[in-house]
Structure 1
Amino acid sequence: MGFVLNETRAAVEAYLAALNAHDADAVAARVAQDFVNEHTSSTGQSRRGRAAYRAALTGFLENFVDLHYAPERFLVDGESAAVPYVMTFRMRSAGDRPVRIRGVFVFTVAAGLITRRTDYWDSGEVQRQLA
């Protein structure tokens, strides 16, 4: 069980490091072919499949300037992990206005790759900060 926990955490840490490095190819390499990226926020856009996710990453990373996810902790249970985070960025499409929000990722990992990411964050808070 300890190996699975370590593998799960390592996969999540590698994924977050790639996001924080703004490396779309490295991010996509950390997810499975049948990856599910679910957003619970009304303004988030969910995607299925590595190819669809990769296609969206370039624009996302260009619009979210200086994107950084700061994990608050890692809660790992087998192949699942929950990671509360603080996300900071400047939104290019909104005049480079700075945003800071808290959210929670819930990941599922198999064979060292992320198979599912559910992202819980408050889109209303983002809109408030951009107003």
Structure 2
Amino acid sequence: MSNRDGDRSVALDYVAALGGTDPAEVAALVSDDFRNEHHAELGSGCVGRDEYARRLPGFFATFPNRRYEVIETAVGELVGDSRDGSEVVVRYRFGADVEGTRIDIPGVMWISVRDGLVTRRLDCWDSLTFYRQTGLDPA
């Protein structure tokens, strides 16, 4: 049986680090085989802590003054998964400055936590809202 409160704390620490100032702090919270998955059209996935750590500074630069406001969480175990750990769903609002415009976009992350580390993040947020708020051309 997993430690759901501890796993929720790991997931929330990860989300807080994404809104912080140190990409290395984010990378330290993920496993070596971390999977970063996106269901948003603008997102770009990758596999492995090293590749994720390489990409994080670009994410931080693209979205300065980031913040993640956690709206609610749910914690459970993946049915049929024999490994100890939890699945943490985090509903959030993402704010950042993009080319002089402040964005505010709702989203959901499904975060898998095993052995005190994030092993997978599936992120979904509304790309159309991003384009409407920034006025940028999706082409």
Shift of 1:17: 1.9
Shift of 1:10: 1.2
Q: Name which of 97, 104, 126 aligns with 1:90.
A: 97
Residues 66-113 of structure 1: CA deviation (Å, up to 9, x unaligned): 10000101101131010000000001xxx2211100000001110000
Q: Which SS does the other structure have where 1:17 is aligned?
A: helix
Task: Give the percent of matched residue pairs that are identical in Structure 1 and Structure 2.
Answer: 34
2:127 corresponding residue in structure 1 = 123
Paired amino acid for 1:100: D
Tell me if structure 2 keeps the 8 A contact 1:108–1:114: yes
Q: Which SS does the other structure have where 1:108 is aligned?
A: strand
Paired amino acid for 1:74: T
Give the distance between the partners of 2:42 and 2:59, measured in 1 at CA. 13
TM-score (norm 2): 0.87
Give the distance between the partners of 1:96 and 1:111, measured in 2 at CA. 40
1:53 corresponding residue in structure 2 = 52
Give the distance between the partners of 2:12 and 2:129, measured in 1 at CA. 26
Tell me if structure 2 keeps the 8 A contact 1:65–1:96: no
Which consecutive unaligned segments of at least 5 residues does structure 2 have? Answer: 78-85
Give the distance between the partners of 2:69 and 2:93, measured in 1 at CA. 5
RMSD value over aligned CA atoms? 1.1
Tell me if structure 2 keeps the 8 A contact 1:36–1:115: yes
TM-score (norm 1): 0.92
Which consecutive unaligned segments of at least 5 residues does structure 1 have? Answer: none
Q: In the TM superposition, what are the counterparts of 1:1-131 in structure 2 within 5 Å?
A: 1=1, 4-78=3-77, 79-91=86-98, 95-131=99-135
Aligned residues: 127
2:80 corresponding residue in structure 1 = none
**Structure with a larger share of its residues in helix:** 1
Shift of 1:22: 2.1
